[in-house]
């Protein structure tokens, strides 16, 4: 399984960052800078709270000579930090190829092949769906809504035309991804389920024993 990382929430339960488990443990025991007691975070979800079988028993607890601590999967800051840095609010910035690979699930939006299915000479590129030459300001073409992940073969075939003009089908609707969508692949499925629960409300998902923070 992938390495466990900890989801850090703001005090309002909005996703803020994905941090190493070691950093999460440090935040649990660092003195709060406003004198509110030991620890800058409350533990919301631990590996022991997940009953889905996703995390092996041997990875659920960290042990020291004198104590043992359940591995924190989700922690929340005890006081509100600027929401401008919450993942769902931070602009994703200038489009780049790694972001497109994550947004489009690692598939060419024209031929739907993954990197493993491409020929050795082929590779992923950023395709401008409506060519740059059709814009008064070429920089206006370089935005997520006008970009598709495309293999080199499909990009060359399309050339300086729209998909319709090239007789090609664009699969999917390109949108600007939220920062959450870009970091979600770094999380375990149980953490992604937890965040969806936070955002959508409703009953606690089956298999999660969520603690009140």
Phi-psi region of 53 (alpha: psi -120 to 50; beta: other; left: phi over 0): left
H or E stretch at 150:
strand 147-151
Enter the tokens of residue 61. 């607890």
Residues 10 and 76 in one domain: yes
In terms of domains, do 153 and 104 share one? yes
Same domain, 132 and 162: yes
Residues 202-211 have pLDDT tens digits of 677 777 877 6
Same domain, 187 and 83: yes
- Residues 49 and 151 grouped into a single domain: no
* Shared-domain flag, residues 59 and 122: no
Assess whether 161 and 131 both reside in one domain: yes
pLDDT value of position 213: 45
Residue 134 lies in a domain: yes
Task: Tell me whether residue 23 is in a domain.
Answer: yes
Contact between residue 39 and residue 27 where contact means Cβ atoms under 8 Å apart: yes
Please report, for residues 47, 103, 127, 175, the alpha-carbon distance to residue 97 in angstroms, rounded to integers and kept in the order given: 33, 10, 10, 14
Q: So what's the pLDDT on residue 155?
A: 97
Domain-embedded: residue 136: yes
* Listed residue (75, 99, 93) closest to 174, CA to CA: 99
pLDDT (tens digit, 9 = 90+) per residue, 32-47?
655 555 788 999 999 9
Q: What is the mean pLDDT of residues 184-198?
A: 79
Domain with 144, as residue range(s), is: 97-166
């Amino acid at each position: 399984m992938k390495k466990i990382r900890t989801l850090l929430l703001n005090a309002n339960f909005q996703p803020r960052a994905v941090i190493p488990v070691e950093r999460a443990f440090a935040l649990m025991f660092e003195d709060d800078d406003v004198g509110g007691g030991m620890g800058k975070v409350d533990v919301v979800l631990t590996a022991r709270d997940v009953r889905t079988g996703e995390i092996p028993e041997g990875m659920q607890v960290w042990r020291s000579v004198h104590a043992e601590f359940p591995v924190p999967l989700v922690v929340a800051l005890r006081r509100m930090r600027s929401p401008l840095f919450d993942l769902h609010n931070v602009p994703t910035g200038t489009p780049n190829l790694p972001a497109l690979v994550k947004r489009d699930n690692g598939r060419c939006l024209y031929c739907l092949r993954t990197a493993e299915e491409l020929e050795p000479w082929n590779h992923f590129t950023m395709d401008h769906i409506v060519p740059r030459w059709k814009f008064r300001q070429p920089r206006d073409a370089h935005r997520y809504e006008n970009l598709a992940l495309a293999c080199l073969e499909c990009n060359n075939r399309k050339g300086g035309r729209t998909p319709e003009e090239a007789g090609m089908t664009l699969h999917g609707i390109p949108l600007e991804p939220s920062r959450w969508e870009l970091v979600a692949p770094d999380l375990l499925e149980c953490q992604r389920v937890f965040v969806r629960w936070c955002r959508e409300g409703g009953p606690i998902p089956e298999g999660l024993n969520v603690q009140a923070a």
